[in-house]
Structure 1
Amino acid sequence: MNAPPLVFVSATSGDLRSVRKLVSQALLTIGCHPVEQSHFGPDYREVRKMLGDRIAECQALIHIVGFRYGAEPDPARLPQGAERRSYTQLEYDLGRELQRKRGDGRFRVYTFVCPEGFPFDAEPEAEDDEKRGLQSAHRRAILGGEILYETPADPAGLEARIHVLREEARRLRVEHERHRGTMLAVGLAIVLALAGIGGGVYWYLPRHVERTVAETIDPAMIGERLRTEIRARFERDAEAARSEGKHWGALRELEKGRDAALARVDDVVATIREGLAGNPDPIFKEASRILEKEGGESALQYLESHKAEALAGIDRAATQEESALNNLKKKLQPLLLQADLLETKQDRAGALALLRTVADKAPGWWEARLRLGDSLYFMALYAEAEPHLRAALALAMDEKDRAVASNDLAQLLKATNRLVEAEPLMRRALAIDEQSYGPEHPDVARDLNNLAQLLQATNRLAEAEPLMRRVVKIFEKSYGPEHPNVATALNNLASLLQDTNRLAEVEPLMRRALAIDENSYGPEHPKVAAALNNLAQLLQATNRLAEAEPLMRRALAIDEQSYGPEHPNVATDLNNLALLLQDTNRLAEAEPLMRRALAIDEKSYGPEHPNVAIRLNNLALLLKATNRLAEAEPLMRRALVIFLLFTRATGHEHPGLRKVFGNYRQLLLAQHLPAPQIQTRLAEAATAAGYGAAEWATVQAAWK
């Protein structure tokens, strides 16, 4: 019978008491046994030791962080120099210490930081400012550190996140079974030794245990006999100590030994009961029989003589589950191949259906969850993609795989404008890859590029620039100065320099990137089209429109030839060219290009994708420029609704939302609508996106 992994649940019983119960129930459903500690003494040292022992019995710890500090050891009794920590904070500290000691494969700490809008339980009483400050400091330390954490929006999200740890529980169970097997086949010897065989004075096991029923072992009866023997042994030795006139300290030590021995009896009973349940291991069964009939010394001798045989059986059992999963993966590989082929044909819906099937059949396979999450992310189904990417990160056991999953999840968080959450993931991936590959590996360059682009998005351009320059150097050293990856790095660096308005430095980088791509791929390759677009937009920004236009038209022709006329890259080219034509006041030429770009993106991504909203906004602005306000209004309204839907679905504001909101408001003003009617139109758009009146008022107030 497999013993379930033990998972310590760490959360305050004030604002998170309902969550503790929910998490414990969720753990039971995935085959784990929740462990909690509700009663604490006032002394710091005793509490720390008690919690340390309790957590050390577990294979994982779940730490849920709210805004309440909770109970703590008596501050007046803290050792000199010790920091004030609540019981739950102390649990977190001990869990992190154990994780560092054992390694991720043997112990994990999962941290969930509940945000401001989380539905906390009503607090029994308000905490003072000092305690609030201590808890705020704990939250900041987690949010600002490099330790992975998650921010569930509500209890349902937290419960779902616990459920995706099913495979992690499976791995913990395999590891636990490995050590449990040792406990049953070899570790019974440890329990017996702890009970006093071969050296303990009071941890004494009687040599003969009578059987109440022939060939039946009663663990409870063994326990009672053990307790009787331990107490009797203590009385004999205590009487001897008194007769010899020993100091009271000697008696106190005897009492401590007795109490410690009595505390171990339950361990012995539990080990015997667990090992004999179901279909017991033959070695364990025989050792238990010998223990009952002949005593502990004989049982220890038997176990030692069969230790090698027991360990071999443990290794075989531990690999069976892993083997079954590997066989399932092999069976699912054809579906993954089919999905890959469908994606090459732009049948993303068909590929997504197959990836869903694979992930459903093997929910504990990190790569299946990653592939599904990446596909959903590409289609801008961010809310659905996120739990799969988080599951992939939790399930990945290899550090290099964790780096990949961390990066992909970070890209989703960046796309949903959660840059603060994305950054520690990117830094974690970078640290893993630097440790795994060294500081000049191409994968490290990829991580540096991702982090630099995030820093660029948060306007930390001075921090981003040296990272991007390092990327260029790594790629030049790894691949040579004329490699396409160098061209990509040059383009990214040029984009950053363009943001700092150093246009004179930008152009030579872009032209070098274009030359590399033309030399590497030939003049008609899509990579060349992307480089042409970058250079053309720079020329447009420097008002060299006549130079920019032929480059944009060449990029469009290349992408149409490479991908066909209905590809999203073609839509991007059409949009760029249309904006340039608009800048040269050729609005009649620009309009059909914008409409075609809109149609392509609607077909490629669906009608509610953020890219579609961008196309709608651009077309509406063009119509506004031609004074066709009535035609422009429903397009701009639809763009606003899409961004609102995105924001509501992800819980995070889309970067383009406020701009489109302002554009729509200006369009309504241009129609000379009275202020109340403008507010009504804006509210109608919010209602169409599912916002209630109060919620919409809160959103608008936050923008002021």
Structure 2
Amino acid sequence: MPGEQQRKIFISGTSHDLQSYRAAVVQWALAKGHLPVEQSYFEVQPDYLTIVQMLRDKLSPCDAVIHLAGFWYGGEPTNRPDGEHRRSYTQLEYELGRELKRQSFRFIARENYQPDRPLEGQGAELADLQIQHRQRLTLGSEPWSAHSRTTGNELYYEFSTPEELVALLDKLTIHDTTSKPINLPYQSLGSLFKGRDEFLAQLRRVLINKPTHIAAVTGRHAIHGLGGVGKTRAAVEYAWQHKHEYNALLFIKAESAADLERNLAGLCGALVLNLPERDSRELETQIAAAVRWLREHAGWLLIVDNVDTEEAQAAVEQRLAAISTGHVVITSRLTHWEGAVEPLDLDVLPHDAAASFLLERTAGRRQPQPSDPDDAEALANDLDSLALALEQAGAYIVRTGISLAGYRKKWAEQDHRVLEWFNENLMKYPRSVATTWETSLAELSEDARTLLNILSWLAPDPIPRFLLEQLEEIEDAPELDLDASLGDLTTYSLARWQDERTGIEIHRLVQEITRWRLDAEKEPSFLAALRMVNAAIIGNPQDVRTWPIYRVLQPHAAGVTDFAQPFHNPEPTSRILNDLGVYLHTRAEHHSAEPLFRRAQEIDEASYGPDHPEVATDLNNLAELLRATNRLNEAEPLYRRALKINEASYGLDHPKVAIRLNNLAGLLQATNRLSEAEPLYRRALKIDEASYGPDHPEVATDLNNLAELLRATNRLSEAEPLYRRALEIDEASYGPDHPDVATDLNNLAELLQETNRLNEAEPLYRRSLEIDEASYGLDHPAVARDLNNLAGLLRATNRLNEAEPLYRRALKIDEASYGPDHPTMAIRLNNLAGLLRATNRLTEAEPLYRRALQIYEASYGPDHPTVATGLNNLASLLQATNRLSEAEPLYRRALEINEACYGPDHPELATNLNNLAGLLQDTNRLSEAEPLYLRALAILCRFTHETGHRHPNLLVTLENCWSLWEQIQLPMYERREKLVAVGFDPDWLKSP
């Protein structure tokens, strides 16, 4: 392997019998320019979990593991937790290397190898455990060559002598597997980071050693202290100092629960973990992906910065409590934490370290004086040895070339001024920081001071350059030399450049002091900040292509609007709140979006009155969120009020009124009031036809909405011409090969399939697939949808061999598009599992059903209706395989979920009740099954009475009741009484 870069190689093998063989591997590695790593023995005997973490720490920076397996078992850790298999140290080393996804090379000693020491004395039990380990390493092998074999796709080697072992090692190619994600906010200070050695060592001990209340492998830790003490810097310096021991160095801020979730999701990004979910529209999907990565990878460090509120603290503890594969360092001003978190108090710098920092920071760039050492000590004392104040003082001295004594004099002058406005009872920061700020501010140019005033209203997050440049575009903004002003702020350490100077970051204490001191200048600088953010927020917040901008601007939009109320919420506060709310709502961050929508509504009502069209938009946005979060009773009056406002503002026949009608009708349909929804859909259609003409795409949308309702009420003959007309309109508007036409074709084909016209449906499905493949390429999610639908038809026509590859191709496309844990994947898995079940491959179907259920629960939480669907599917398979005791709790949980989501009278519950009753009937619990069948029948009878259309499952449920009554030989008159009691009409048996 000439010319290879140096790799770190962990060498694992028992010392008793393989010491000389291991030494040969060490010499081979050194000769190749690699760095061998060994764990020969443990000086003490720590507990099992501590040993696991110690081995992880040692394996993490390695590129490969060379595992030698002889016949000697060796030592093993004590205090093994319940459920952990019995393993020796060397077996643990090998398995942890595999867990860390390191290259693992297995070398198996043949029976004729010469051990360094005799093998007698370990006992039959230990000898058998080692033989089992050797068998696991070679299970299922086929001969590959005279000296090496494979297990499945993996290679292992056999050796008898050290010389043969070295010859086999020469066959290896070792790659760099330790390229690590790093998103730390700044580089190390190097020698300027002073006075923290003892603290960092203490932090390391807490992260490694198991305290009485936390497993050592979890390694959670909080650094708390007052503002400006250097908590974040200490955490980041720890990360850089131990970089080689971690697989990833990750950094997120968590000033609030929303910040934590947004920044956890941000770890998915291309520049950090680069996960497939990085472009997902669902925040929870991205959070789940980031958390899954943390759970599945060991040896990482995560810094969670500025956890200073109880709300953020609770969110951090909840999100990170179950992750035990890496180290978490929290920086916080809070001192009280749950037992899982070990708080360490970070004090100000030691006095001598603070003085040493000042001398080194300004060396060669200050006016030197013989008294410099004494002046440095005195200045450190003035500054309370606070890291932030020290850095700003050093920057000032370097910028001006003043002496330490000269700076002290200026600082003292400003300290007298600070006393005039500094209130120790109100301030959340030390006076020394305020005085240092005041001293630096006095030297700033007017432009830099104005810019700092404006930026103090933003969030303490990175401020992108493109946001700063908006100042040049907005009306009435101060004219600034932006580059010179930024240069001033960064030179005096009042701001810090980001990498590549793509933006800046300002310490939140600097922002707080600046805002406090603005006095009469507050409103102009605030308005400039507000309008700057407004100018930067461009594009449709529902369009995923705009999300990179919204993601960066979100903290600043939220931050600046938080300050708007004292200024009477000037324009464009409500516009920013609404756009940010729509972005968050589209990403399913409903808890963050809701207060923004409510506040926008309050502002617009106060500004325009309660009956203004802007208020109608606010009401509609909030209603959409309430509907999405299943608060339908709260959403309805808002939809109705928005409709009333638009009718009064625009007249009864305006297209905006049609939008409101469609939204309200959608809610009525969702709450099973189909007879109320239908006239609204029809009225919206009539308005758009009159406004746009009969052949406009908006009309096609209305037709599709109405057709969906007709289809839901089993009026398929009425729905069909609407689907066909919508298709005709879109073909005329967009041409025959447009993706919207493909959607129309799919809708019509589904109706044709439901009415058993499969020969007509199939060419539509195939044409839809052809359009989407031509429009999007072969691997687009729209193509996966088409493949899935076509496969469903093929399955319905018993062409299972043709359907299966389409299902599998759709699954493969969506896995590549969305990642393995996206909700769409669960749909694909369920469909494929259904086909496997239909072909009696139940053992193949079951893990797919279980994986789909797991995805649903992770995506939507444990109580979502989609989870109920997953539970039903799995329970049905368990019932089919006679595992009734396993199926029953799943059926019951599905019923409980849907009842909580839809209420007691929704038709969806009839399916759950039927399924559970069927299982009870199979287990001869007929008295328990009958009331469930009757309740399902009552729900469907009520639906049929209210809509005037017989529910498709009504007769099926009647047949179930009849079957049970036959089984218990219930007299005919009693059957009639029970049917009358639930509202069943015998005439329904005659109708189609």
TM-score, length basis structure 2: 0.37
Q: Distance in 2 between matches of 1:428 and 1:492?
A: 21
Q: How does 1:217-236 map to 2 (within 5 A)?
A: none
Higher alpha-carbon deviation: 343-352 or 401-410? 343-352
Paired residue for 1:484?
A: 781
Aligned-partner residue type, residue 637 of structure 1: L
Report the Cα offset of residue 433 of structure 1: 0.8
Q: Secondary structure at the match of 1:603?
A: helix
Structure 2: distance between partners of 1:545 and 1:381? 39
Q: Which of 880, 891, 894 is the aligned partner of 1:583?
A: 880
In 2, distance between residues paired with 1:504 and 1:571?
30
Letter in 1 for 2:878: L
The answer for the alignment partner of 1:630 in structure 2 is 927
Distance 1:699 1:511 in 2: 42
Instruction: Output the CA distance in 2 between the equivalents of 1:596 and 1:535.
Output: 24
1:685 Cα deviation (Å)?
1.8
Residue among 718, 722, 744 paired with 1:447: 744
Deviation at 1:334? 1.1
Q: Do residues 430 (structure 1) and 731 (structure 2) align? A: no
Secondary structure of 1:362's counterpart equals: helix
CA distance in 1, matches of 2:728, 2:905: 37
2:875–2:886 CA contact under 8 A, matched in 1: yes
- Please state if 1:385 is matched with 2:385: no
Q: How does 1:207-606 map to 2 (within 5 A)?
A: 329-363=613-647, 364=652, 365-396=657-688, 397-398=691-692, 399-606=696-903
Letter aligned with residue 533 of structure 1: N
Contact 1:494 1:510 in 2 (8 A): yes
In 2: Cα distance, 1:369 partner to 1:429 partner: 19
| Partners of 1:514 and 1:416 in 2: CA distance | 31
The within-5 A match list for 1:33-48 is none
Question: Which residue of 617, 620, 624 maps to 2:917?
Answer: 620
The letter for the 1-side match of 2:946 is A
Structure 2 distance, partners of 1:556, 1:444, is: 33
Cα distance in 2 for partners of 1:457, 1:503 equals 19
Offset at residue 510 of structure 1 (A): 0.4
- The whole-number CA distance in structure 2 between the counterparts of 1:520 and 1:383 is 40
> Amino acid of the residue matched to residue 698 of structure 1?
D
Deviation at 1:344, TM superposition (A): 4.1
The superposition leaves residues 7-60 of structure 1 with CA deviations (integer Å, 9 ceiling, x where unpaired) of xxxxxxxxxxxxxxxxxxxxxxxxxxxxxxxxxxxxxxxxxxxxxxxxxxxxxx
SS across alignment from 1:511: helix
Structure 1, residues 267-302: CA drift from partner, whole Å, max 9, x if none?
A: xxxxxxxxxxxxxxxxxxxxxxxxxxxxxxxxxxxx
Residue of structure 2 in register with 1:54 after alignment: none
The answer on whether the counterparts of 1:389 and 1:409 sit within 8 Å (CA) in structure 2 is yes
User: What is the one-letter code of the residue matched to 2:816?
Assistant: N
Size of the alignment, in residue pairs?
370
Alignment correspondent of 1:272: none
Report if aligned partners of 1:430, 1:448 keep a CA contact under 8 Å in 2: yes
> How many angstroms apart in 2 are the aligned matches of 1:460 and 1:495?
14
Q: 1 CA distance for matches of 2:781 and 2:627?
A: 23
Q: Displacement, 1:680?
A: 2.0
Mean Cα displacement is larger for which, 511-520 or 381-390? 381-390
Question: Per residue, is there more strand in 1 or in 2?
Answer: 2
> Percent of aligned positions with the same letter in both sequences?
54
Tell me the equivalent position of 1:640: 937
Higher helix share: 1
Hey, what's the Cα distance between the residues in 1 that align with 2:627 and 2:685? Answer: 24
Task: Look up the SS of the partner of 1:469 in the other structure.
Answer: helix
- The one-letter amino acid paired with 1:443 is D
> Per-residue displacement from partner, 1:84-142 (whole Å, max 9, x unpaired)?
xxxxxxxxxxxxxxxxxxxxxxxxxxxxxxxxxxxxxxxxxxxxxxxxxxxxxxxxxxx
Alpha-carbon shift at residue 702 of structure 1 (Å): 4.3
- Per the TM alignment, residue 474 of structure 1 is displaced from its structure 2 partner at its CA by 1.1
Q: Which residue type is aligned with residue 354 of structure 1? A: L
Give 1:698's aligned residue. Answer: 987
Code of the aligned partner of 1:594 = Y
Which position in structure 2 is the counterpart of 1:282?
none
Indicate the SS of the match to 1:592: helix
CA contact (8 A) 2:613 2:645 kept: no
Rg: which structure is higher?
2
Match of residue 978 from structure 2: 681
User: Mind listing any 5+ residue stretches in structure 2 that lack a counterpart?
Assistant: 1-607
Aligned-pair CA distance for 1:329: 4.1
Distance 1:534 1:697, change over 3 A: closer
Structure 2 contact 615–642 (Cα < 8 Å) conserved? no
Residue identity opposite 1:345 in structure 2: T
CA contact (8 A) 1:669 1:678 kept: no
AA in 2 matched with 1:366 = A
Residues 679 and 344 of structure 1, relative CA distance in 2, 3 Å threshold: closer
CA pair 701-425 structure 1, distance change in 2 beyond 3 A: closer
> How far did residue 588 of structure 1 move?
0.7
Instruction: Flag the 1:349–1:662 CA change in 2: closer, same or farther, 3 A.
Output: same
The offset of 1:357, in angstroms, is: 2.2
Amino acid at match of 1:335: L
Query: What code does the residue aligned with 1:573 have?
Result: G
| Counterpart residue identity of residue 987, structure 2 | T
Give structure 1 regions of 4+ aligned residues with deviation exceeding 6 angstroms: none
Q: CA deviation at 1:337?
A: 1.6
Give a deviation string over 1:250-280, Cα, whole Å, max 9, x none.
Answer: xxxxxxxxxxxxxxxxxxxxxxxxxxxxxxx
The AA in structure 1 aligned to 2:729 is I
The aligned residue for residue 162 of structure 1 is none
Alpha-carbon distance between aligned partners in 2 of 1:524 and 1:332, rounded to the nearest angstrom: 38
CA shift for structure 1 position 666 = 1.1
Kindly provide the amino acid, as one letter, of the partner of residue 615 in structure 1. Answer: N
What does the per-residue CA deviation read over 1:565-617, in whole Å, with 9 as the maximum and x for residues that have no partner?
11111000000000000000011111111111111111111211111111111
Q: Does the CA contact (< 8 Å) of 2:727 and 2:741 recur in 1?
A: yes
Aligned equivalents of 2:966 and 2:805: distance in 1? 44
Distance in structure 2 (CA, Å) of the matches to 1:507 and 1:574 = 23
Question: CA contact under 8 A between 2:950 and 2:988: conserved in structure 1?
Answer: no
Q: Which residue of 2 aligns with 1:667?
A: 964
Q: CA separation in 2, counterparts of 1:440 and 1:328?
A: 42
Q: Distance in 1 between matches of 2:741 and 2:908?
A: 30
Change (3 A) 1:576 1:629: same
Distance 1:381 1:593 in 2: 29
Q: Which amino acid aligns with 2:827?
A: A
Counterparts in 2 of 1:470 and 1:630: CA distance versus 1, 3 Å: same
Mapped partners of 1:387, 1:604: distance in 2:
26
Q: Is the 2:739–2:775 Cα contact (8 Å) retained in structure 1?
A: yes
| Cα distance in 1, alignment partners of residues 974 and 836 from structure 2 | 42
CA contact (8 A) 2:772 2:782 kept: yes
Give the Cα separation in 1 of the matches to 2:766 and 2:864: 32
Deviations 1:146-167 (CA, angstroms, capped at 9, x unpaired) = xxxxxxxxxxxxxxxxxxxxxx
Superposition TM-score, scaled by structure 1 size: 0.51
